[in-house]
């Protein structure tokens, strides 16, 4: 599932288009600058499309790419999160692809509410309850990004796989699932990165949304440049942690950086700073989004895979 920038968007290098088989799987965020108009996820073996409890998906015997959108109505965001993750778990069992590899969440009014009532914290509560019910242990948690959108409700995109990925933590950071109580009634349930060791193919690295957090504390409040630098240091640490499986990874080896900015006015400053570190060849994709902590201004994710290798 390698994706790289092509002339009209993100183009995969294999043959079967998972993206087009999943109707309506769009990202509900504002693209900034010259961000590509689409992402194409492809697999080397044929996929079938289907739907399951409101989830639309495309899958083959090894992998499933899917999308789920839920309205909130009156039940509250914790209940919606629990329902979403239970449906995700049920789909995995139904397809024989029981393991989560990567999840993207887009949550309306992410930081609305005070204390434990903040919507982000309530989402974490519902997610944790569902994963607990499904019996998913911490070592099988997935890479994830959770950002705020202006579109009401909850939208999730996710990848399910047959075999569990190898999940990585960052020694500079407290594991999110071990955060202290001050961050909410239940800890965020995700791994800092995941490596998928595809059968008969090279491994692929997925780095979660990564911010300016050291230990469990946010760093460089109101300092965009400091937050960008700290986020890059955290990503570099994860690349080092992946070296035993993936080999040495430099910035040039990544597929792209996807950058979520709280303020679209920060686009050019962030672009210039990133170019000074990663060079001019690595694709940069900028999106405007709310972030999980009010003091955070930027979050960055990435992925990597040796060139020229297809997944099954």
pLDDT in tens, the chain (312 residues): 333 322 222 333 322 333 333 445 788 899 999 877 777 777 778 888 899 999 999 899 999 999 999 998 878 999 999 999 999 999 999 999 999 999 999 999 999 999 999 999 999 999 999 999 999 988 889 999 999 999 999 999 999 999 999 999 999 999 999 999 999 999 999 999 999 988 877 889 999 999 999 999 999 999 999 999 999 999 999 999 999 999 999 999 999 999 999 999 999 999 999 999 999 999 999 999 999 999 999 999 999 976 544 455
Q: How far apart are CA 100 and CA 58, in angstroms?
A: 15
CA distance 265 to 269: 9
Predicted pLDDT of residue 18:
37
CA atoms of 226 and 223, how far apart (whole Å): 5
Interatomic CA distance for residues 305 and 146, integer angstroms:
23
CA pair distance 268, 271, nearest whole angstrom: 5
Neighbours of 15 (CB within 10 A): 11
- Which DSSP category does 139 fall into? G
Report the distance separating Cα 230 and Cα 173, nearest Å: 11
With a CB cutoff of 8 Å and minimum separation 6, the contacts of 135 are: none
| Share in percent of the chain as helix, strand, coil (round to 5) | 30, 30, 40
Spatial neighbors of 176 by CB under 8 A, at least 6 apart, are 187, 188, 189, 190, 192
Cα–Cα distance measured from residue 146 to residue 292, given in angstroms and rounded to the nearest whole number: 7
Q: Tokens for 70, please give them.
A: 């839920």
Residues 6+ apart with CB under 8 A from 93: none
Q: What's the pLDDT score for residue 306?
A: 61
The DSSP letter of residue 164 is: P
Q: State both tokens at 219.
A: 């760093």
CA 129 to the chain's CA centroid = 20
Cα–Cα distances in angstroms (integers) from residue 142 to residues 16, 78, 127, 205, 277, in the given order: 25, 19, 12, 12, 28
Contact assessment for residue 37 and residue 59, using Cβ atoms and an 8 Å cutoff: no
């Amino acid at each position: 599932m390698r994706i790289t920038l092509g002339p009209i968007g993100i183009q995969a290098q294999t043959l079967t288009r998972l993206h087009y088989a999943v109707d309506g799987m769009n990202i509900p965020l504002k693209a900034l600058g010259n961000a590509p108009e689409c992402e194409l996820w492809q697999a080397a073996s044929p996929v079938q499309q289907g739907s399951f409890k409101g989830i639309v998906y495309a899958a083959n015997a090894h992998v499933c790419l899917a999308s789920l959108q839920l309205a909130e109505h009156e039940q509250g965001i914790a209940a919606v999160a629990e329902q979403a993750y239970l449906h995700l778990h049920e789909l995995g069992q139904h397809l024989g692809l029981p393991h989560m590899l990567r999840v993207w969440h887009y949550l309306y009014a992410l930081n609305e509410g005070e204390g434990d009532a903040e919507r982000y914290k309530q989402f974490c509560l519902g997610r944790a309850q569902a994963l607990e019910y499904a019996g998913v242990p911490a070592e099988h948690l997935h890479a994830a990004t959770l950002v705020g959108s202006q579109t009401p409700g909850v939208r999730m995109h996710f990848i399910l796989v047959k075999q569990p990925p190898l999940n990585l933590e960052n020694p500079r950071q407290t594991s999110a699932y071990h955060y202290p109580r001050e961050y909410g009634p239940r800890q965020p349930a995700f791994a800092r990165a995941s490596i998928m060791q595809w059968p008969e193919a090279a491994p692929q690295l997925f780095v979660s949304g990564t911010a300016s957090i050291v230990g469990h504390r946010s760093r460089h409040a109101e300092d965009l440049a400091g937050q960008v630098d700290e986020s890059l240091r955290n990503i570099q640490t994860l690349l080092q942690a992946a070296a035993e499986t993936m080999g040495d990874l430099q910035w040039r080896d990544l597929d792209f950086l996807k950058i979520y900015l709280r303020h679209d006015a920060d686009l050019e400053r962030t672009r210039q700073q990133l170019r000074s570190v990663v060079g001019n060849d690595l694709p940069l994709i900028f999106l405007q989004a709310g972030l999980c902590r009010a003091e955070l201004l930027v979050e960055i994710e990435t992925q990597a895979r040796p060139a020229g290798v297809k997944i099954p």
